[in-house]
Structure 1
Amino acid sequence: MTVHSQGAATSAPQDAPPPSAGPGSPPPRPSGSARPSPRGGRKSLPSGWLPYALVAPAVLSIAGLLLYPLGKNVLLSFQQVNKIELIQRKAPFIGLDNYTGLLGDAKFWTVVVRSFAFTAVNVALIMLLGSLIGILLNRLGKKMRLVLSMALVMAWAMPIVASVTVFQWLFDEQFGVANWVMRTLGFSGYDQHNWFETGFSTMVIIMILLVWGSVPFVALNMYAGLTTVGAELYEAAKMDGANGWQTFWKIVFPNLRPFFLVTTFLEVIWIFKAFTQVYAMRAGGPDRASETLPVFAYIEGQSQQHYGLAAAISVLTILMLVVVMSFYFRLILKQEDEQ
């Protein structure tokens, strides 16, 4: 840059050579060359066949452990495999006879309605109680929060068969705690009351067991989600005069909507496919009045030895669950598009 006598400055020509560097300075970098990435910067992801080669073992393992048995089960559903065919080692194809027989059976539809109603009531109670306990965890002090969290984890970690045994003892007709509590409260007729006398009462006890074992998962996740909601939002709602319900509905729920969607989705799958709790409690009794679809398929296959029919029941169960979950997937994808 040159300065005229009047004080105005003019730029040097664009092609002027740069000032000479010192003897120890690095050579100048050509104009337009890219600046090298800083040390420790993010590297580009591998491309080509390498990512597929890395995930291939996992995909092949899943295909071998899940897809192959599923394919064999679908094939079995089109065959007649009863006790006689099992002894004779024959499996004649009968087309859609297993499916048409099931769809025309009133008992099958009774089990279907019972399974969906059982799932809906359980999931509603689990999400309600789990959310309330999660909010309670967020408002407790450090010591009480630790005690309640440990109690929830212990209930969640208890083995299923052990928890079923405890509930069988609680509702035992001779030495059960439930009958003792009812007699202590002054109710008559509970000297040796059989809580498993009807299918409905048996389902209620199984429902209590499932809710007790599933609430900790929702409560702990709810508490973890509440810790991500900023305190300034609660303060703003308090200044606006919002009560507890308004604060939850206008602040907590919108911020934790993905949590509610995903957790409800997982609980629907967990409750709908619950087998051990239902079967271990009373094996679907009394008189098969507490059977859900997984237990119904197991009893038809193992107890009645109608293996082809049991395979058809399991395939229909999977299809029903996929149809129900497809609507839920649409809600989750819609939620992701809105964000």
Structure 2
Amino acid sequence: MLVGDGSKAGSSGSSSLRSRPSDDGDAARRRKRRTTLTRPWLLLAPSLIVLAGLLLWPLIQVGKLSLQDYKVKFGGGEATFTGFDHYKDLLTGELLWKTVLPNTVFFAFACVGLTVALGTAVALLLNRLGPTWKLICSVSILAAWAMPAVTGTYVWIWLFSPEDGMFSQLADSMGLIDAETTNWFTERLPFYAIATINVVHHGFPFVAITVLAGLLTIPKELYEAGEIDGANAWQRFWQITVPTIKPVFLVVTILSTIWDFKVFTQVFLMPGGAGENPDVYNLGVYSYIEAFAKNDYGAGAAAAVLLTLLLLAITVIYIRTLFRQGEEDL
């Protein structure tokens, strides 16, 4: 009996000893898993706190302001809660649907399409140049990107100014217009045509350099194989270049879309763009005019929120497309 009990006790003791290393291993794995999950967030925490202070808090305040009727007074301000009245007025007004939103959307898509197309063409040209000319041309086009938007806008205003502008004089000499009576900035279409040229001129260098970086990663053997198969330059571009660096095109398109939807300086500084001509309003200018020119801060904030939501929707669509492309490549 004693022997039997001893054996049982010994076996139970040995089993408990065998279970302890397993428990310790499970605890270690849980700690490792917890560390793996929390360490990235701990490393990102300082940046996230700064971003929350610089971006999230102002967005919350703008959203809050859009629900109020805010009056500026000496020594402070007075806010009256109005709910969604500003959004209702904005969304039911003819100015938004007939002028502001079409100007914003069509102008942005025109700028994005032309910027990406011109930037890609320049990148293809740079990729075929030798090292010396590639460096010279890259520095030259980057000068357009480095130019401040204010300076570039005034240059284009001067070029198209009535009577004595270079393009006005050139068109007059060709019999296309009368330089003394034609003002490019009073009509909606020529106004945004000039603004589009301005934005594309300022934005295409970024696309060109980014696409060039993608082109340099494509193995030359792919193009040689395409030539052997009888593919011409146009076919090699669509069958080799585009599929290979499609993520690059998606990224530059996303960034160009965000930038061009919220264009403000190039429109506001042009003659009539600061509020004198409502036909050329876009969402950015409309928000500014409502808030600071008319002192209707709630309406201006509502327009700003609408623009933000529009940009978020477009960005989400592009990012989902980018992720889907990445999954297909895997």
- Among 68, 80, 84, the alignment partner of 1:92 is 80
Conservation of the 8 A alpha-carbon contact between 2:159 and 2:165 = yes
1:189 maps to which of 174, 178, 195: 178
The residue number in structure 2 matching 1:322 is 312
Q: Is residue 92 of structure 2 the alignment partner of residue 104 of structure 1?
A: yes
Alignment-mate amino acid for residue 219 of structure 2 = G
* Counterpart AA for 1:107: L
Q: CA deviation at 1:334?
A: 0.3
Q: Which residue of 2 aligns with 1:311?
A: 301
Gaps of 5+ in 1: 1-45
Distance in 2 (alpha carbons) for counterparts of 1:103 and 1:63: 29
1:57-136 to 2 correspondences below 5 Å: 57-82=46-71, 89-110=77-98, 111-136=100-125
More displaced stretch, 236-245 vs 51-60: 51-60
| Aligned 8 A contact 1:82 1:308 in 2 | no
The reply on whether 1:137 has 2:142 as its aligned counterpart is no
Bigger Rg over Cα: 1
Deviations 1:169-188 (A, max 9, x none): 11111321112222344545
Q: How does 1:262-273 map to 2 (within 5 A)?
A: 262-273=251-262
Q: 2:146 aligned with 1:157, yes or no?
A: yes
Relative distance call for 1:82 and 1:203 in structure 2 (3 A) is farther
**TM-score, with length taken from structure 2:** 0.83
Q: C-alpha separation between the residues in 1 aligned to 2:205 and 2:229?
A: 33
Query: Letter of the aligned partner of 2:213 in structure 1?
Result: A
Judging by fraction of residues, say which structure has more helix: 2
Is residue 258 from structure 1 mapped to residue 234 from structure 2 by the alignment? no
Give a deviation string over 1:247-270, Cα, whole Å, max 9, x none: 001110110100111110110001
C-alpha distance in structure 2 between counterparts of 1:74 and 1:294, whole Å: 16
Partner of 1:55: 44
Deviations 1:259-291 (A, max 9, x none): 111110110001001111111123345522111
1:336 aligns with 326
Change (3 A) 1:181 1:289: same
Identity %: 38
In structure 2, stretches of 5+ residues that fail to align are 1-34
For 1:148 and 1:338, the matched residues in 2 are separated by 36
Does the aligned pair in 2 maintain the 1:206–1:277 contact within 8 Å? Answer: yes
Name the residue aligned to 1:40: none
TM-score using structure 1 length: 0.81
Q: Shift in Å at residue 79 of structure 1?
A: 0.7
Q: Which residue of 2 aligns with 1:4?
A: none
Query: What is the RMSD computed on CA atoms of the aligned residues?
Result: 2.2
The reply to whether residue 147 of structure 1 matches residue 130 of structure 2 is no
Query: Is contact 2:163-2:179 (8 Å) kept?
Result: no
Aligned to 1:236: 225
Decide whether the 8 Å contact of 2:247 with 2:325 is kept in 1. yes
Aligned length: 295
State the AA in 2 paired with 1:182. Answer: A
